[in-house]
Amino acid sequence: MVPDMHEHLEQMLTRLKLTAIRDQLDNLIDEAGRRELTIREALAMLCEREIARKDQRRIEMSFGLARFPFVRDIASFDFDAQPSLDKAQVRELSTGRFVANGEAVLLLGPPGVGKTHLAVAIGREVIVAGYTVLFVPATTMVAALAKAHAEGRLEEKLAQLAKPKLLIVDELGYLPFEPDAAHLFFQLVSRRYERGAMLITSNRSVGEWGTVFGDAVAATAILDRLLHHSHIITIRGESYRLREKRRSGILKTPLSTAGITPTHSQQGVSSA
Ligand code: ADP
Ligand code: MG
């Protein structure tokens, strides 16, 4: 190719933002020649490479924006360790269909059974499927709402939390909420209701949410909306962390999960 034609092409590809094609142009043209592609086939190959790069960029950026606490995926989840868990249901959630439908997912169970792991893993799949995700610890979120409320910026904060297609609220119930916080949480749930999906993890059964929120009326109103279009997954197994420790001999006798968090009863964690 004549040198100025090469440059001209590069400039056009830059202007069209076809950077993957631009950066690998010589290789791609060689490849098309080697495989004796028709012009139509070659064009399709170029488009595929560009789309693959753009998808990769979007996914990486969304992973960053989601603020996951750690990297976990479905592949690294040991389903054999949690026989009570329906693998097919987890796979179904990973397709992101519940996000498209604006549904709620409640992931319930005692500490250490992999709720946060699954929430992150599903969140990542949902991003790959093309949606935006934000992960927030429940206590952080409620504190942020209360602060925004005190500073007269509640509307702004609610709008921000309503934006991602999926909002993951992790570890609801580890600390009881103030009554005011229950009302703020209700406003958030109402805002997202039927518009955006939510995934909530909790160590408390739905029946205990009145106590968690410190306000039975607010809890009922929140649950009314969350349970309307919802998937409830209850993990009943033992803590994975303790299981690993026991295997390596650090713990000898099986501990019942009820003894792990002395401040809260673990009993009654079940689906609604
Ligand atoms: P929870 O949120 O229910 O308290 P986590 O998801 O934080 O529990 O799990 C605790 C740790 O154990 C994490 O590092 C997680 O990746 C790991 N873990 C829990 N369950 C499993 C599992 N079934 N397979 C693989 N790792 C697991
Ligand atoms: Mg957790």
Instruction: Give the number of the atom of ligand 1 that is nearest the alpha carbon of residue 244.
Output: 12
Provide the mean pLDDT of the chain: 89
Q: What is the pLDDT of residues 202-241, one digit of tens each?
A: 999 988 988 888 888 888 999 999 998 899 999 988 888 7
Q: Which domains does the chain have, with CATH numbers?
A: 3-58 (no CATH), 67-271 (3.40.50.300)
Q: How far, rounded to the nearest angstrom, does the alpha carbon of residue 232 sit from its chain's CA centroid?
A: 16
CA nearest ligand 1 atom 10, residue: 112
Residues 216 and 208: their CA atoms lie apart, in Å, by 10
- Look at residue 22 and give its three-state secondary structure: helix
**249, burial (CB in 10 Å: exposed 0-12, middle 13-18, buried 19+):** exposed
Task: Decide whether any atom of ligand 1 lies within 6 Å of the 193 Cβ.
Answer: no
Ligand that lies nearest to the alpha carbon of residue 137, given by its number in the listed order: 2
Q: What is the pLDDT of residues 139-193, one digit of tens each?
A: 999 999 999 999 999 999 999 999 999 999 999 988 777 778 889 999 999 999 8
* Contact yes or no for 79/117 (Cβ under 8 A): no
CA nearest ligand 1 atom 26, residue: 77
Distance 77 CA to ligand 1 centre (A): 8
**52, burial (CB in 10 Å: exposed 0-12, middle 13-18, buried 19+):** exposed
Task: Decide whether any atom of ligand 1 lies within 6 Å of the 77 Cβ.
Answer: yes
Q: State how far the alpha carbon of 163 is from the alpha carbons of 61, 116, 134, 144, in Å.
A: 16, 22, 9, 16
Q: Ligand 1, residues 85, 168, 172, 240: which to mutate, most atoms within 8 A of Cβ?
A: 240
* Contact yes or no for 98/37 (Cβ under 8 A): no
